[in-house]
Structure 1
Amino acid sequence: MFRKKAIIGIFIFGVLLSAGGYWFLKGNSLLLQLGNHSKLEISSPFTKVKEIDKTTEKIAGSKEISRTYVLVRFGMRVGYINITTRQLPNGDFFLFHKLRALENKSIETNSSLIVNNPQKVDLIPWNETEVSHTHHKNFGTDPTTNPVGRYTFQTKSEEIQLVQGKTFLTTEMKKEYDTGNESIIRELVREQNASSLSKGHSLNIKLRAEDNEISETWSIVSEKGFFRSSVEEKEWIQTLSEKKTETNNWYTSEGPYNKLPWSIEPYTKMGYGRNLGDMQEETALTLYKDKDERFFQDLVYNSLVDLEKYRSKKHTSLWPTEYTSTWLKKAYNTTAPYYDTRHNEFISYFLDEAYQALDIKQPDNSIIQYADFLIEQTENGKIINTENGHLLTDYFKEGSAIKTHASLNHELGGIKILLHSFLSSGNEEYLFQSQQLLKGIEDLGTDWIRENGDLWYQVNPDLTFTGNDYEQLTLIDLLETRELLKEVNHFSYPILDGLIDSKLDYLNSKNIEYHPKVKELLE
């Protein structure tokens, strides 16, 4: 009798243990409400998903909610997943996934983006055309491709559209310096399409990572539609394929990632990073102002958030470059972080133009803010003195007394920023500082012109000239500066006319067609 009871007891204990073990191994799922008609379900096989952090902030008119979950298997942490929703002012939203595996761990997550009661789902692929991976002289081959495409979820009363990006598997690489600073990049392991439709018409996203890898993807969701016509959408797909260096295809909650030059530290041929020149959605802004399409508006909204968030996280008023350029390190022992004057100039203009186009109040006047920074660097001695004026160095690093070179296009960019600041504020200090830079260019006179009629790229701290000039970028800067000077008070600087004429003669001698912007300015 006792033996029978013992056997029954062991059996019951075994059942309970099995049930508990099944519960322990099964894991759990979490459900997040997204828009008015969609939600996201997150799970991980045999793994518990537990929220450990949630932040909400408003940036550049958008509302961002970031949730971080720890992934626990057999009582041990194996990784983290971050889900960020970025609600744009027009009601559309970005959705970012970022999965990170801990060292020597392997993890997988399943996300189901569920639209309420869809009747059917259509996909317009954005990757149908075979892509030719052109070899670039500075950064080699970029194997990343267009987003997956645009899904349309048709319900009885609504049409929900979603643009889905590819999934990017990377490892983070860092180079630490004695100063305590570091250079940060990502090494691309592979790109893939990790999304698929289920029978129930939900969009499934499966992410995998192991041993400190990062797996991430992105989506944009709209309940109003992205394009008014298929023609506009097809033109955008073509633009993405043909102008990879002018558009983005890899978005994250921290900003877009793009192929970096090989001259980076730490070194890898497959290095990607947050290039400040690519964080501005210039192409999208131009198309939005021209065509007023909602999709381009979404990209510009997102770019504003990325740029404002970037400098906030860096605790700076401007935008420092976060990875080291080896040629800059070799020439001037300058490592990340440092300020690139041209990047910050372009960002200032982009913010000013984008805030106006989107009718959002700008937190600070970005152009004047940057002009003040240039004056501050002048007072700190980051200049190359000439007989009657000076030139600003191209790069600034906090705490460093080393002076870099001054390139003609950067100088003209600084002059334009100062003149725009004078025109908008009436502050004579901006005008005075611009004249000091103009005198610096004028003091060096025709030495800027090479024997073949083209211009030198830069002047070094010892006033020697080196480097090949851009084909027409500097010419555009020269023409724009001349126009601004006329607008300010028709100040005459004959050296600008001489540099412009020499550059035009050089282009003509090489039978190089003028850039459309050059033609416009000459007219």
Structure 2
Amino acid sequence: MVRKISVLLLLLTAIAVCTFLPDPASVFASAAAPPWQKPVEKETTGKGNGATYKKREFAFGDGDVYWSQQIIGTKTAKPYVITVPVQGNSQHMVFRYRAYNEAKQPVWQAVTLDQVKTLPLASGFLETEGRSIWLGKPIVYVAKGRGTIEEHAELALPIQVKQRTNGIVLEIRLPIKAGYRSEMWALESREPLVPWGEQSIDQIWLALDVTQNAKWLYDGYYYKSPSTYEPTSANAYWRIPENYVLRSFLYTGGSRAARNMGYVMLKTSLLQQEPEGYWKTLPRSLWLSEDYGIPDGFYDTRFNTGAADLMLRGCVQYAEEAFCQSAQTYADYFHRHAASHHYVVNGTQPGWLVADYASAKYPAKKTHVSLNHQLAEINFLYSSYLQFGDPADKTLADLMLAGVVNLGTRWLLPNGDLHYAYFPNGTFGRADYPYLTYNDLLETQRLYRLLHGTEEPTIARLTASKLAWMQKSNVAYR
């Protein structure tokens, strides 16, 4: 089932947030990152030589530049070539890239450019005096529809290193083949993009995947497609609303690369937000279709609330009105969703449990309520209230928290773990995540304490029980 496969996705989110020791106030505190200036954006398109060409650029105020190019083949032709000249002594030019050891763990490897004719086929950082470039990995793929691509790694060409008297030229060759798309992106700076060696930065960046299980592409962030999605294949990736790498950039920061790419990724996510305020999961989920009759293009509350939380974060960090408006538009959409897709749980005061999924095609469908979804939504609404001051956000968050609290110890399993979900027939079931829900509970308690001046006792009990189970089960957490 996709829920089980999604464990990996959501655990990566938890790892990204909890491993990096984030300090929200110091995201842009690195000495390498000057005060933020909104970049100038430009997109150009063209046709010729058997392909359609698209290029997007962000020119930042400090001279940094991000660019991304996409080639859509209409017939087979010679590769499209992008040249990147780099001045200096090639003996002092290093390409640092993310590789894997025999245990399939990510490690850093490096080559000097006077020793190679091609770069390893991987994303990495070219570093020399007065120049730093974060190079994406060239990719060739087929668009399968429903926000899904199928990578054809056998067609990708490595970047060539051409020696010149005053330095080198990187020659990036993007294949032009009918029915295929080729892409490449890079972030260039006159200053170091990442302060290697600072605050365990090497390990932080090792965890950021934009080439293996995830792909950063022209139109967004893609993740490995589960077998229960349609379309899918062994090399398929789907465009996921919540960008886990972006989460690390916004909550960890500390580098020019994080600051600049965070902005680029948020702007790209804006393009995928529906006018109503949410981000569609475009593939068809077999289990949602079988269990609830929900077709492709559905609304997933966890991925969407995660995406909106990133917009809220971007609103604060970049003072970007478009990001602020995006977060508020989503909040409005969630209010409407909650009003029409909830279960009333009575107690000292009535509470709501809000359904995890919905479809605009079949709006009457109601699904189960996962505890982690419910908590993430509460946390977003409280955060939105703290940022924008709309009392409706706090009111709904309190109502949803009452839904959790009114069920009280019914969330607990005999072994101390928590039930994953509450179902439309009033039953509980499925195995909870190892520690994702624990992190959500901690954040709910933090926000509740901030707003109400005291702890919520039921949340405290659920948190303590989950922690005890984690410790007894030797679940690693941070």
Same-fold status (TM-score > 0.5): yes
Question: Would the alpha carbon gap of residues 362 and 96 (structure 1) be closer, same or farther in structure 2, given more than 3 Å must change?
Answer: closer
Question: Would the alpha carbon gap of residues 126 and 258 (structure 1) be closer, same or farther in structure 2, given more than 3 Å must change?
Answer: farther
- Correspondence for 1:226 among 193, 196, 200: 193
Is 1:489 equivalent to 2:452 in the alignment?
Answer: yes
Question: Would the alpha carbon gap of residues 430 and 163 (structure 1) be closer, same or farther in structure 2, given more than 3 Å must change?
Answer: closer
- In structure 1, C-alpha distance between the alignment counterparts of 2:391 and 2:321, rounded to whole Å: 26
In the alignment, is the contact (CA less than 8 A) between 1:62 and 1:88 conserved in 2? yes
Matches within 5 A, 1:445-464: 445-464=408-427
Question: Would the alpha carbon gap of residues 302 and 89 (structure 1) be closer, same or farther in structure 2, given more than 3 Å must change?
Answer: farther
Offset of 1:332 from its aligned partner?
1.7
Gaps of 5+ in 1: 1-59, 73-77, 136-143, 175-182, 517-523
Offset of 1:395 from its aligned partner?
1.6
Greater relative contact order, per chain length (Cα 8 Å cut-off, separation 6+): 2
- In structure 2, C-alpha distance between the alignment counterparts of 1:318 and 1:213, rounded to whole Å: 29
- In structure 2, C-alpha distance between the alignment counterparts of 1:146 and 1:484, rounded to whole Å: 41
- Correspondence for 2:150 among 180, 184, 187: 187
- In structure 1, C-alpha distance between the alignment counterparts of 2:345 and 2:399, rounded to whole Å: 10
In the alignment, is the contact (CA less than 8 A) between 1:395 and 1:404 conserved in 2? yes
Deviations 1:1-26 (A, max 9, x none): xxxxxxxxxxxxxxxxxxxxxxxxxx
- Correspondence for 2:345 among 378, 381, 386: 386
Is 1:294 equivalent to 2:294 in the alignment?
Answer: no
Give the match for residue 27 of structure 1. none
In the alignment, is the contact (CA less than 8 A) between 1:248 and 1:256 conserved in 2? no
* Structure number with larger C-alpha Rg: 1
In the alignment, is the contact (CA less than 8 A) between 1:453 and 1:503 conserved in 2? yes
RMSD in angstroms over aligned alpha carbons?
3.2
In the alignment, is the contact (CA less than 8 A) between 1:146 and 1:240 conserved in 2? no
Is 1:347 equivalent to 2:314 in the alignment?
Answer: no
Deviates more, 1:215-224 or 1:246-255: 246-255
In the alignment, is the contact (CA less than 8 A) between 1:227 and 1:233 conserved in 2? no
Offset of 1:85 from its aligned partner?
2.1
- In structure 2, C-alpha distance between the alignment counterparts of 1:351 and 1:440, rounded to whole Å: 26
Question: Would the alpha carbon gap of residues 233 and 98 (structure 1) be closer, same or farther in structure 2, given more than 3 Å must change?
Answer: farther
Letter in 2 for 1:392: V
Matches within 5 A, 1:268-417: 268-278=233-243, 281-288=246-253, 291=254, 293-311=255-273, 314-361=274-321, 363-379=323-339, 381-387=340-346, 388-400=350-362, 401-417=364-380
Letter in 2 for 1:455: L
- In structure 1, C-alpha distance between the alignment counterparts of 2:162 and 2:409, rounded to whole Å: 68
- In structure 2, C-alpha distance between the alignment counterparts of 1:370 and 1:89, rounded to whole Å: 30
- In structure 2, C-alpha distance between the alignment counterparts of 1:251 and 1:278, rounded to whole Å: 9
- Correspondence for 2:54 among 82, 85, 103: 82
Matches within 5 A, 1:149-168: 149-150=125-126, 152=128, 159-168=130-139
In the alignment, is the contact (CA less than 8 A) between 2:127 and 2:192 conserved in 1? no
In the alignment, is the contact (CA less than 8 A) between 2:276 and 2:333 conserved in 1? no
Letter in 1 for 2:56: T
Question: Would the alpha carbon gap of residues 89 and 433 (structure 1) be closer, same or farther in structure 2, given more than 3 Å must change?
Answer: same
Give the match for residue 15 of structure 2. none
- In structure 2, C-alpha distance between the alignment counterparts of 1:168 and 1:347, rounded to whole Å: 25
- In structure 2, C-alpha distance between the alignment counterparts of 1:128 and 1:495, rounded to whole Å: 44
Letter in 2 for 1:267: T
Matches within 5 A, 1:59-208: 61-72=38-49, 78-102=50-74, 105-115=75-85, 118-121=87-90, 122-127=92-97, 129-131=99-101, 134=104, 146-150=122-126, 152=128, 159-174=130-145, 183-190=146-153, 192-200=156-164, 201-208=168-175
- Report SS of the residue matched to 1:251: strand
Offset of 1:271 from its aligned partner?
0.8
Letter in 1 for 2:341: K
- In structure 2, C-alpha distance between the alignment counterparts of 1:90 and 1:169, rounded to whole Å: 32
Identical aligned residues as a percent = 23
Question: Would the alpha carbon gap of residues 245 and 462 (structure 1) be closer, same or farther in structure 2, given more than 3 Å must change?
Answer: farther
- In structure 1, C-alpha distance between the alignment counterparts of 2:229 and 2:45, rounded to whole Å: 31
Deviations 1:50-97 (A, max 9, x none): xxxxxxxxxx9433322222224xxxxx32222332223443122222
Offset of 1:108 from its aligned partner?
2.4
Give the match for residue 462 of structure 2. 499
Question: Would the alpha carbon gap of residues 282 and 463 (structure 1) be closer, same or farther in structure 2, given more than 3 Å must change?
Answer: same
Question: Would the alpha carbon gap of residues 279 and 337 (structure 1) be closer, same or farther in structure 2, given more than 3 Å must change?
Answer: farther
Offset of 1:435 from its aligned partner?
2.8
- Report SS of the residue matched to 2:217: coil
Q: What TM-score do the two structures reach when normalised by structure 1? A: 0.71
Q: What TM-score do the two structures reach when normalised by structure 2? A: 0.77
- Report SS of the residue matched to 1:499: helix
- Report SS of the residue matched to 2:426: coil
- Report SS of the residue matched to 2:221: coil
Gaps of 5+ in 2: 1-36, 106-119
Deviations 1:374-397 (A, max 9, x none): 221133x21123333221111222
Question: Would the alpha carbon gap of residues 287 and 187 (structure 1) be closer, same or farther in structure 2, given more than 3 Å must change?
Answer: same
Letter in 1 for 2:237: Y
- Correspondence for 2:398 among 411, 435, 460: 435
Deviations 1:274-315 (A, max 9, x none): 222226512233442xx3x2222222122222222222xx44
Deviates more, 1:502-511 or 1:464-473: 502-511
